[in-house]
Amino acid sequence: MLSERLYPLRFISKYLLHYKWQLTLGLVYIIIMTGLQVLTPWLLRYAIDYMQSIHQTPGVVMPDFTRLLIGAFQLTTPLSIIFSFSLLIVIATIIQGIFRFLMRDTLIGVSRKMEYELRNDYYAHLQTLTPSFFQRNQTGDLMARATNDLNAVRTMVGPGIMYFISTFFLFIIVIVFMIKINANLTFWALLTVPPSVLVIYKLVSKIEKLFDLIQSQFSALTSTVEENVSGIRVIKSYNRQEHVLHKFNKVSSELITRNMALARVQSTFRSFIQFITGTGTLIILWVGGHKIIAGTLSIGGLVAFFSYLIMLTWPMIAAGWVLNMWQQGIASLKRLISIMGEKPEFADDARTDPAITRINGEIEFRDICFSYHADEPEILSHVNLKIKAGSTVAIVGPTGSGKSTLVNLVPRLFEPHDGQLFIDGHDIRTIPLQTLRKAVGYVPQESYLFSDTLLENIVFGLESYQPQDVVAAMETSQIIRDMDQFPEKLETIVGERGITLSGGQKQRTAISRAVIKKPAILILDDSLSAVDTYTEEEILKQLRRVMDDCTAIIVSHRISSIRDADEIIVLNEGRIVEQGRHSALLKNKGLYYNLFQRQRLEESLQEMQ
């Protein structure tokens, strides 16, 4: 339980340790700065008392410090004595200022550097997570963690730590100085501290809960915006702007409700602090006034007490504020850790055999079962399939029969729940992910391009490339025929997700991106759907050359694109129902035959017209 509570702190201290020298220096700066800060009221006290004594009977005993000062600088006139007090105050402030500069520059700088490191690590960690994670988590929410939450964590370790330590020291040093002036008055002046600490603590723990609620609502808002802006085309064509706005406003309004709950607590907090410090001044005036009249305190001492009380107010507010920052920071840190602590569903591990560096392309599915969630229907059940290296296999079947899922298992985007997948006779879990994915050229169903140039999108998976390879890959996908449509040719920016390209152009770019890798296994997941028949024919002709050199798995709906395959797999409801060559399957008179007949029928109908 305790270790669970401490885990966030252990996590963050890992990062802080990288800056132990800066942090140590920062600590030294804080101590020096705080010590100097307390000098000003101290000097003020002597100065006032000296002024007070100018016109009093000469018999008044001067404090040691004042006598020392007069002696050291051979001061003779009262004015020169007052002047030297003033000068000392300025000098103390200058030195203090230098250390304040160093403190801020060092400590806040460290917090920003840590933020940078943490953000890098967060992103690097996301890269290790598998697609199932990204299905479960909304993009907007993941983004909010990298910005808002991270910023709250940063505030906690930067200003948070800085103010915490400086507050702590200031408190101690001020109290020491106060006691030196008058111990009894110090007791009275600090009377307000225990109740305020209690109230502050109570309010702050409330704030933590409220802040949690606010952050999660803020994430909801981010997700709502992200999704609706991405889906703007549907919203517009269905005239759903009003509904979407209504939904957005509901989320936005809930955020305000939650923020207002926090506002109530914070308003109480702030006005309470103001009140409690006022009360402190009041007590000092009343008790101190009596002491002056009784002759046990000087006016200078009273003035110094007022100054010190103001100095103590700041730590008290800061304490509340710092606690607030800590609470917010911890809440955000937990949200970050929940992602950073997310173990990738799979990764290279002890089973991985680094000796596997090449892949020929023989694939075997052995009794594979798959479902996205335990409580959801199986998408693949007991699939057994052997694909010889260099052969071309086609997968057909109705929508939702598991075609995409089956091919997604090959580059190990998902892991089967049951059964084993072998590539070149190795269990896929023993093959380093790098090796595996280097060997797979994958063209997804929905072509996802990046907002970069056309060229960058094509050479996306390469370390380095030759211009002639790019041309060859573009010829294979026939995207080269569209070059005159791109104003900047290969340097044309394709827009977010390739938005400026047509569906077919996106798919063909994605094909180029896959074939340029010269993969041992090429997977086309219904990748020609947005391409017209003529272009498809051309692409297939070109692809055949590529497919001669690799194992190819083609998911398609059009018999025309797959009839030449070495083997055709017919999937239905997650099971292989038929398997064989085109001609053999036709003789089978099963699902494939029906599919084929239907397509033929349509064509005959057309022919008759």
Partner 1 sequence: MKEQEEELTGKAYDSRLMKRLLQFIRPYKIQMALALLFLVIFAFCELLGPYLIKIAIDSKIATGDMHGLLIITLIFLLVLIIQFIVNYMYQYLTQWLGQHIMYDIRNQIFTHVLKLPLSFFNKNPVGRLVTRLTNDVEALNEMLSSGLVAIFGDLVVLIGIVIVMLNLNWQLALITFAIMPFIFYASWLFRVKVRDSFRKVRLRIARINSFLQENISGMSIVQLFLREKKNYKHFDELNKSHLDAHLETIRYFAIFFPAIELLSSVALALILWYGGFRIYNQTLTIGVVVAFIQYAQRFFQPIRDLSDKYNIMQAAMASSERIFILLDSPEQQNTLKEPTALKAVTGKIEFKNVTFSYNGDEQVLKNISFTVHPGEKVAIVGATGSGKTTLTNLITRMYELQQGQIMIDDVDIAAIPVNNLRKMVGMVQQDNFIFADSIHDNITLGNDDITPDKVAAAARNVNAHHFINKLPDRFDYTLFQRGGNISVGQKQLVAFARALAYDPHILIMDEATSSVDTETELWIRDATNKLMTGRTAIIIAHRLSTIQNVDKIIVLHKGEIREMGAHAELLKKRGIYYRLYRLQFKNTE
Q: Tell me the two tokens of residue 155.
A: 């505030």
Q: Is the distance from CB of 527 to CB of 367 less than 8 angstroms? A: no
Identify which range of 6-14, 130-138, 188-196, 335-343 contacts partner 1 by CB under 8 A. 130-138
299 lies in the site for partner 1, by CB under 8 A: yes
Q: List beta partners, residue 554.
A: 394, 524
Identify which range of 106-114, 203-211, 334-342, 348-356 contacts partner 1 by CB under 8 A. 106-114
Crossing angle, helix 64-72 and helix 39-54, to 10 degrees? 90
> For residues 9 and 54, which CB has a smaller minimum distance to partner 1 in the complex?
54
> For residues 131 and 341, which CB has a smaller minimum distance to partner 1 in the complex?
131
Q: Interaction with partner 1 in 273-292: which residues (CB under 8 A)?
A: 274-275, 278-279, 281-282, 285-286, 289-290, 292
Identify which range of 174-182, 194-202, 420-428, 481-489 contacts partner 1 by CB under 8 A. 481-489
**How many C-beta atoms surround the C-beta of residue 82 within 10 A?**
15
Q: How far is the CB of 201 from partner 1 (least distance, A)?
A: 19
Q: Is the distance from CB of 514 to CB of 476 less than 8 angstroms? A: no
> For residues 60 and 256, which CB has a smaller minimum distance to partner 1 in the complex?
256
The residue behind tokens 């349509």 is 602
Q: Interaction with partner 1 in 490-529: which residues (CB under 8 A)?
A: 493, 495-497, 499-500, 502-505, 508, 513, 517, 526, 529
> For residues 9 and 116, which CB has a smaller minimum distance to partner 1 in the complex?
116
Q: Interaction with partner 1 in 443-472: which residues (CB under 8 A)?
A: 444-446, 448, 450-451, 460-461
488 lies in the site for partner 1, by CB under 8 A: no
306 lies in the site for partner 1, by CB under 8 A: yes
Q: How far is the CB of 4 from partner 1 (least distance, A)?
A: 28
- The Cα–Cα gap between 298 and 381 comes to 91
Torsion-angle region of residue 295: left (phi > 0), alpha (psi -120 to 50) or beta?
Answer: left
- The Cα–Cα gap between 603 and 593 comes to 15
Among 270, 382, 388, 426, binds partner 1 (CB under 8 A): 270
Residues 6+ apart with CB under 8 A from 396: 403, 555, 556, 557, 559, 562, 568, 569, 570, 571, 592, 595
Q: Assign 552 to helix, strand or coil.
A: strand
537 lies in the site for partner 1, by CB under 8 A: yes
Q: Assign 533 to helix, strand or coil.
A: helix
Q: How far is the CB of 426 from partner 1 (least distance, A)?
A: 19
Q: Is the distance from CB of 150 to CB of 332 less than 8 angstroms? A: yes
Q: Interaction with partner 1 in 199-228: which residues (CB under 8 A)?
A: 218, 221-223, 225-227
Q: How far is the CB of 402 from partner 1 (least distance, A)?
A: 8
Identify which range of 3-11, 136-144, 180-188, 205-213 contacts partner 1 by CB under 8 A. 136-144
Q: How far is the CB of 181 from partner 1 (least distance, A)?
A: 15
Among 153, 396, 524, 553, binds partner 1 (CB under 8 A): 396
DSSP secondary structure letters along 371-428: -SSTTS--SEEEEEEEE-TT-EEEEE-STTSSHHHHHHTTTTSS--SEEEEEETTEEG
- The Cα–Cα gap between 407 and 402 comes to 9
* Signed CA dihedral, 340, 346, 352, 357: sign only: negative
Q: Is the distance from CB of 177 to CB of 190 less than 8 angstroms? A: no
Q: Is the distance from CB of 322 to CB of 108 less than 8 angstroms? A: no
Pairing of strands 440-443, 363-370: unpaired
- The Cα–Cα gap between 539 and 405 comes to 24
Q: How far is the CB of 587 from partner 1 (least distance, A)?
A: 17
**Nearest CA among 414, 422, 437 for reference residue 365:** 422
Q: How far is the CB of 1 from partner 1 (least distance, A)?
A: 33
Residues 549-588, mask of contacts with partner 1 (x by CB under 8 A): --------xxxxx---------------------------
Identify which range of 97-105, 166-174, 322-330, 468-476 contacts partner 1 by CB under 8 A. 97-105
354 lies in the site for partner 1, by CB under 8 A: no
Residues 239-258, mask of contacts with partner 1 (x by CB under 8 A): xxx-xxxxxxx--xx--x--
What H or E segment, with its residue span, contains residue 469?
helix 467-477
26 lies in the site for partner 1, by CB under 8 A: no
40 lies in the site for partner 1, by CB under 8 A: yes
> For residues 372 and 422, which CB has a smaller minimum distance to partner 1 in the complex?
372
> For residues 330 and 403, which CB has a smaller minimum distance to partner 1 in the complex?
403
> For residues 65 and 386, which CB has a smaller minimum distance to partner 1 in the complex?
65
Residues 314-343, mask of contacts with partner 1 (x by CB under 8 A): ------------------------------
Q: How far is the CB of 590 from partner 1 (least distance, A)?
A: 13
Q: List beta partners, residue 520.
A: none
Identify which range of 88-96, 174-182, 199-207, 420-428 contacts partner 1 by CB under 8 A. 88-96
In one-letter notation, the amino acid at residue 607 is E
The size of the interface with partner 1 (CB under 8 A), counted in residues, is: 182
Residues 6+ apart with CB under 8 A from 185: 178, 284, 287, 288, 291, 297, 301, 305
352 lies in the site for partner 1, by CB under 8 A: no
68 lies in the site for partner 1, by CB under 8 A: no
DSSP secondary structure letters along 32-73: HHHHHHTHHHHHHHHHHHHHHHHTS-TTPPPPHHHHHHHHHT
Q: Interaction with partner 1 in 365-394: which residues (CB under 8 A)?
A: 372, 375-377
Among 301, 361, 397, 574, binds partner 1 (CB under 8 A): 397
